[in-house]
Structures are given as C-alpha cells and as structure tokens.
A = this chain, B = another copy of it.
Amino acid sequence: MVTIRHAQPADYGRVIQHVNAWWGGREMAPMLPQLFFVHFEGTSFVAENDAGELVGFLVGFQSQTQPTEAYVHFVGVAPRERGSGLGRALYERFADVVQGHGCTTVRCVTSPANEASVAFHTKLGFEVDRVAEDYDGPGEDRVLLVRRL
C-alpha cells in the first residue's frame, strides 16, 4: 500500500537524499532547492509505502504569470516502484488540485536525452509542444510538454 500526501518542508531532506540516485547518478539536487517544499506545499506531494519509506514525489505549482497553467518541476519514483502506476497517481493528484484552482493545462519540461521521461509523459496524455535549444542554459536543450486538463 502506497499513501500520497502533501509534501512539507520536513520531507525535503529525505527527498534530496534519493534524487541523484533515482536519476541514475546525475547531479540533480541543485535543481531542487528546499524553496519548492516550503512555498508550494499545496501542489507538491510525497508517496510513502507501509514501512514509511519514501517511494515517490511530485513538486509543482500554479503559474503566477498565467494562472490557468500549472507546472510540474520534478516528479520521481523509486526504481523498485516503477511500472506500478505511482507516477500516474501523483500526476492525477496534482491535476485534481490545480483544476480546483482553475488550471486548464499542465506543462513540464524534460531533457531530450531522457527518452523514458518523454515516453512516460506521452502515456499520461502529454503532447510535445516543441523542443527548445539551450532552453535551460547553454547546451541544456529541453522538450516542452503540455497536457490539457
């Protein structure tokens, strides 16, 4: 049994411990400062198993430029839980909350090299908006994904 609940600042330390490992050893932690856990609790979630172990999380927010849009900054699932539907369940919890705030689209970006991420998002109903060169800095191309709610 996996339980999904809102993330809190106290969850940050546990999440950040796992992030680099869950991303196959890439150095991801600098992209996920604690501010997301402090200021976007209502649209961020952690998932725990019966033993209380962290098995997934999602960090997102409502756009303040365009309040009908929501953005998912990070979603992660423990390697041993992949294929269980937990990623989808986290996205659905997020979608329910932001729809309640009036959002009609969800956006996210991923690396073109991360084919598993592009495939995962496509299965969830995301479409590729465009692929943008140097989107997150020199050499940091990104696939821009969008899903209508």
Write the residues of chain A forming the contact surface with B, with a CB cutoff of 8 angstroms.
Answer: 13, 16-17, 27, 29-31, 33-35, 38-43, 61-66, 69, 71, 73, 109, 134-138, 140, 142
Please state if A31 and B34 are interface contacts (CB–CB under 8 Å): no
Please state if A64 and B43 are interface contacts (CB–CB under 8 Å): yes
Known contacts A13-B134, A134-B13, A137-B16: A38-B64 contact under CB 8 Å: no
- Smallest CB separation, A124 vs chain B (Å): 19
Tally of this chain's copies = 2
Known contacts A29-B137, A134-B13, A137-B29: A63-B34 contact under CB 8 Å: no
- Smallest CB separation, A44 vs chain B (Å): 9
Known contacts A34-B135, A136-B33: A39-B61 contact under CB 8 Å: yes
The 5 closest A-B pairs by CB, nearest first: A39-B63, A41-B65, A30-B30, A29-B137, A16-B137
- Smallest CB separation, A102 vs chain B (Å): 13
- Smallest CB separation, A36 vs chain B (Å): 10
